[in-house]
């Protein structure tokens, strides 16, 4: 996803939208723009995009081995997945890190971990993407120090740090600090890299998770562009970049997007993205060089649309989604990473990731895709769709600017409530059968699947003992470092944070002094404080009709009758997110539908300990506790909640659990006392709420009600 400062453009670089290009071997005017029906003799094939696999788990050593194997298979860039403690600024021995260490990515707690992560991988020759946001400055500092130790010229380092905190407040939940200080960290990192690591992309504005949180194409573009405006405004207002270098800053802003299965709409979305970015950078920031205004983006295709039911269908979904960001040369991604077919089931194995890499390689090297100019140029259908998207997006961007910009729209809750509402509407369409998902709400009959015949071996598992080993290694690191130097570095970091200096130099010294991830983050927490983002639940409108005879009306009747029999005004449901998993989309949709079904819902957002959840359940006298976990930490955290409820004399409160939970784990949870386990195959939210009412009746020893629900 990087770009050279002078032509030729880098791998996979699209031409500026709206321009025509000619490459070596092109001679006739007919080959500019639309191109002939077949490639002209002698025309050079375009370079393929960077091919990556989002990977990392367990330990730095295990992840390093995985990276080297993937590179040997033809992968052309690295994409590092960090575990949730690393992403949210906690060391592995923190109470909130329990059950999360090495689950969804690799734990990197200090310089030693980063050394092992990239051992025998020459960073000066690598293009590395790091999906990291709140702690992006810290991880880039560790990366730079390791590169220096390898003897690399840091001015030649190429890669990307995600570093988009706005979408964390809205969808992914790995934020730490309030919006203002978070924007300062981003600003300081951008200005540092532009001056010292000029080939590095210090941020990719990430709309990927917005789509997973329910964003429409218009919302995805508008919210991402509003974030980019907020970032650029802050960088230029900081005074750290001279006027003549504004173009260098703009040229280093990249984007990371989502491509769904509606591939024509998604391809048009990318063309609209390019046009709007060109307009904003030219008109708002006065960037004259079209190369600096180029819309540069990487993509991971949609994981939200991958299904647990008939998971083999995910392969064709992935292919269609990849075509959306590769077919159109003028809107082609500069880097692509594909999920694996089994990600709705659990952690992919190396073979599953290899399959996704081979999908890219077949398209790039066996097909004739890269032999042609843009095959959609001149299409009136595409042009009409793109123009409509541009018009709607610009109107929404203006609306956000009138509110004070993206940060103000985060703090007011506007952006979050809009996403929760859009997601609720989408879920309602799926449940009603208006939006079809093969194998889920239509064409559900299936032959036995040999890929999942042994479901528990169809995914990668993380050794439960891994966490203890990582914690022990962390303690050994702390014991062996120069403690006085580490504390001096932390004191200097705090002093810089309390002032207005650039934080990167102090962060580099922390990295070199052996400071840990949690210590760096806590030093900044002490100065900046922490932030709990709005949930968007209370302000989300009703998305599902509840007229007489509808499924929701039937569940409402059952809810009200149960509350009356228990002598309660309303049934009370606590929706809890234990641990560090910030993917709250499912929890929010359960909370909204339960509210609409007549429940009083207690939902305090993400990042809670089992102790806090149980305390809230007791204080609110709830009738049911619903836990949502997608990170794989359910085996540790759910039994802890059950134990604490029993210790408090509240064992009669039923606990239900939802998440990406393998069959064997689900059976263990039920044996431990969980009343019901819901996984992605349980797509009917109204039905889930009805089953929660049934569990409340069973726990309260009420007679079962005859079903009054009307099939959807």
116 backbone dihedrals φ, ψ, rounded to 5°: -70, -30
Cα-Cα-Cα-Cα dihedral sign, residues 641, 643, 646, 648:
negative
Class at the top of the CATH hierarchy for domain 551-700: alpha beta
Terminal-residue alpha carbon distance, the chain? 45
Whose structure tokens read 């592995």? 92
| Domain 50-444 identical in fold to domain 551-700 | no
Mutual angle of helices 585-596 and 414-431, in 10-degree steps = 70
Q: Do the beta carbons of residue 24 and residue 44 sit within 8 Å?
A: yes
Instruction: Give me the pLDDT at residue 38, please.
Output: 58
Distance, in Å, from the CA atom of 586 to the CA atom of 601, rounded to the nearest integer, reads 14
Active site residues: 54, 208-209, 577, 581, 583
Predicted local distance difference test score (pLDDT) of residue 1:
33
Kindly report the CATH class assigned to 50-444: alpha beta
- Provide the phi-psi class of 120: left if phi over 0, else alpha when psi is between -120 and 50, else beta: left
pLDDT of the residue at 172: 87
Question: What letters, b where the CB count within 10 A reaches 16 and e where it falls short, cover 67-78?
Answer: beebeeeebbbb
What does each C-alpha distance from 678 to 31, 63, 221, 493, 667 come to in angstroms? 55, 31, 32, 45, 12
Q: How confident is the model at residue 543, as a pLDDT?
A: 66
**Whole-number pLDDT of residue 42:** 63
Every domain of the chain and the residues it spans: 50-444, 551-700
Q: Which distant-in-sequence residues (6+ apart) come within 8 Å of 103 by Cβ?
A: 57, 83, 84, 347, 462, 631, 632, 633
User: pLDDT at position 41, please?
Assistant: 58
Successive 10-residue mean pLDDT values, the chain, 712 residues: 30 33 31 46 83 92 95 94 96 95 95 98 96 97 98 97 94 92 97 96 94 93 98 96 95 95 95 97 97 95 88 96 95 94 88 95 96 95 97 98 96 92 90 92 92 82 89 98 98 98 98 98 97 75 77 95 95 95 89 94 92 97 96 92 97 95 92 95 91 96 71 41
CA 1 to chain centre: 18
Q: What is the pLDDT of residue 12?
A: 34
């Amino acid at each position: 996803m990087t770009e050279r400062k002078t032509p030729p453009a880098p791998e996979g670089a699209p031409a500026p939208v709206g321009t025509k290009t000619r490459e070596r071997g092109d001679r006739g005017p007919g080959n500019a723009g639309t191109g002939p029906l077949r490639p002209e003799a002698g025309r050079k094939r375009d370079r393929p995009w960077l091919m990556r696999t989002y990977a990392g788990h367990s330990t730095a050593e295990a992840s390093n081995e995985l990276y080297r194997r993937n590179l040997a298979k033809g992968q052309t860039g690295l994409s590092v997945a960090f575990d949730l403690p690393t992403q949210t600024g906690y060391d592995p021995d923190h109470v909130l890190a329990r059950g999360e260490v090495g689950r969804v990515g690799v734990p990197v707690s200090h310089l030693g971990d980063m050394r092992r992560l990239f051992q025998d991988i020459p960073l000066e020759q690598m293009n590395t993407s790091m999906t990291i946001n709140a702690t992006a400055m810290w991880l880039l500092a560790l990366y730079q120090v390791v590169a220096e130790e390898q003897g690399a010229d840091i001015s030649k380092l190429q890669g990307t740090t995600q570093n988009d905190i706005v979408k964390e407040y809205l969808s992914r939940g790995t934020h730490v600090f309030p919006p203002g200080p978070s924007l300062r960290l981003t600003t300081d990192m951008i200005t540092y890299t532009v001056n010292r690591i000029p080939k590095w992309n210090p941020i990719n504005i990430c709309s990927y998770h917005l789509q997973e949180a329910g964003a429409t194409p218009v919302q995805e573009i508008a919210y991402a562009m509003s974030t980019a405006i907020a970032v650029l405004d802050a960088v230029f207002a900081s005074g750290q970049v001279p006027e003549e270098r504004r173009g260098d800053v703009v040229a280093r802003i990249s984007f990371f997007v989502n491509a769904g299965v509606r591939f024509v709409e998604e391809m048009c979305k990318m063309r609209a993205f390019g046009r709007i970015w060109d307009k904003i950078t030219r008109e708002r920031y006065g960037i004259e060089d079209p190369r600096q205004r180029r819309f540069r983006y990487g993509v991971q295709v949609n994981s939200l649309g991958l299904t647990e039911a008939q998971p083999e269908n995910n392969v064709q979904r992935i292919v269609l989604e990849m075509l959306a960001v590769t077919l159109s040369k003028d809107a082609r991604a500069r880097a692509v990473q594909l999920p694996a077919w089994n990600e709705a089931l659990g952690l992919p194995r190396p073979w599953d990731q290899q399959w996704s890499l081979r999908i890219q390689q077949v398209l790039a090297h066996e097909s004739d895709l890269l032999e042609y100019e843009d095959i959609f140029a001149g299409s009136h259908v595409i042009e009409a769709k793109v123009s409509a998207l541009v018009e709607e997006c610009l109107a929404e961007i203006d609306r956000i600017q009138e509110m004070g910009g993206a940060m103000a729209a985060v703090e007011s809750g506007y952006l979050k409530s809009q996403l929760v509402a859009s997601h609720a509407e989408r879920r309602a369409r799926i449940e009603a059968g208006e939006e079809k998902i093969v194998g889920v709400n239509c064409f559900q009959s299936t032959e036995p699947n040999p890929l999942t015949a042994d479901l528990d071996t169809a995914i990668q598992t993380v050794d439960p003992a891994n966490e203890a080993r990582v914690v022990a290694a962390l303690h050994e690191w702390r014991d062996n470092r120069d403690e006085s130097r580490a504390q001096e570095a932390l004191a200097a970091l705090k002093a810089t944070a309390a002032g207005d200096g650039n934080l990167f130099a102090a962060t580099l010294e922390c990295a070199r002094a052996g400071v840990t991830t949690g210590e760096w983050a806590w030093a900044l927490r002490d100065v900046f404080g922490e932030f709990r983002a709005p949930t968007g639940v209370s302000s989300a409108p009703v998305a599902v009709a509840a007229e007489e005879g509808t499924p929701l009306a039937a569940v409402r009747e059952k809810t009200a009758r149960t509350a009356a029999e228990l002598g309660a005004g309303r049934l009370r449901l606590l929706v809890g997110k234990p641990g560090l998993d910030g993917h709250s989309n499912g929890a929010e949709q359960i909370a909204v539908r339960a509210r609409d079904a007549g429940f009083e819902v207690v939902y305090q957002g993400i990042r809670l300990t089992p102790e806090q959840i149980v305390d809230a359940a007791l204080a609110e006298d709830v009738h049911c506790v619903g836990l949502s976990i997608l990170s794989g930490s359910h085996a540790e955290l759910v039994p802890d909640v059950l134990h604490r409820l029993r210790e408090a004399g509240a064992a009669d409160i039923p606990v239900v659990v939802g998440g990406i939970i393998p069959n064997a784990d689900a059976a263990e949870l039920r044996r431990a006392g969980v009343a019901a386990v819901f996984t992605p195959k349980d797509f009917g939210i109204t039905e889930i709420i009805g089953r929660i009412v049934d569990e409340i009746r069973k726990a309260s020893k009420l007679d079962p009600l005859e079903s009054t629900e009307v099939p959807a």
